[in-house]
Structures are given as structure tokens and as C-alpha cells.
Amino acid sequence: MSPALVPTRSFAQVSVGDALPELSLPITRTLIVSGALASRDYQDVHHDAELARERGSKDIFMNILTTNGLVGRYVTDWSGPGGLLREVSIRLGAPNYPDDTMTLTGMVTSKGAVEADGERGLVELTVRGANGLGDHVTGTVTVALPLRAAGGPAE
């Protein structure tokens, strides 16, 4: 379940080394299949357990597009509705199989340039999603945050 909607974080409110709150997501068959369908990935390994096993997998498994969406959700749950994803660079590792849990964690690794419009600053995050087999996803996400909090001064 997503946390309650948080106000948008400003660039000034974020420091290098800040940890994002942990998010644990149950990996269900419904999540795997619906994510594959929503992303138009009709590969049988994402919805047919028997065919997935014939192809050498222990069960159906999550596709990268679903993982990418969950990473985006994790970051925007933290940033608030005014955070804009600018770049997502992820790599898959251990599969997400049904009946496991993926726990997402993250940290602010750098604060970068102000965007050309002078309204937002870029923040780079490292993210990790681990399950019972190890790291399912690792990577970096760059999010643009407003320079000033709603009604507040710029950094």
C-alpha cells in the first residue's frame, strides 16, 4: 500500500546521504501478470507457469517494465507529486517470483545542476530492490525537484 500523499520535497530539503524510507512490496501472481499485460509484454514466462518452467524458470517472473514502474513509484512516493523523473537507469538481477517480497531502499547520492528554466534542481538517487534470492534491481534515478518549497524561499 502506498503511503499517504506527501507534499513535494524541495531541492533545499534534500541532502546527500539522505535515506529514502524502505518500501516492501508483496510479489503476487496478479502483480506479475497485470504488470506484463499493462506494458503489453505478452511473453509466456510472465503469465504461464507451465511454459515458464519448460523454458527453465521455476515459475512466472516479473518483467523489467513492471520493475521500472515500481522503481518510479518508489521515487515519486518519496519526492511527492511535484518530483519529475528525468532519468531511470536500472539493471535486473535475481527474478521476482510470486510469493516473495521485494524491499526497495534508496539514498541521495548527489545534488546536481539547476535546470535551464531555473525552477528545479536535479537529485540523483541510488536504488535497490531485494527479494529472497538477492538483488532484483539496482540502479540510479535522477529526479528534478522544485528549488523552493511551496510558498518558501529558494535555496
Domain map (residue ranges) of the chain: 11-146
Q: Please state, in angstroms and rounded to a whole number, the distance separating the CA atoms of residues 147 and 150.
A: 10
Quote the pLDDT of residue 1. 47
CATH 3.40.50.300 holds for 11-146: no
Question: What is the model's pLDDT at position 3?
Answer: 52
- Are the C-beta atoms of residues 125 and 107 closer than 8 Å to each other? yes
Strands 19-27 vs 84-92: parallel, antiparallel or unpaired: unpaired
First to last CA, the chain: 33
Pair 21, 78: CB distance under 8 Å = yes
By the 10 Å C-beta count (0-12 exposed, 13-18 middle, 19+ buried), 24 is classed as exposed
pLDDT of 120-139, one tens digit each?
Answer: 999 999 999 999 999 999 99
Looking at 40-54, 107-121, 135-149, which range is the least confident one? 40-54
d(CA 155, CA 137): 33
Give tens-digit pLDDT for 85-114.
999 999 999 999 999 999 999 999 999 999
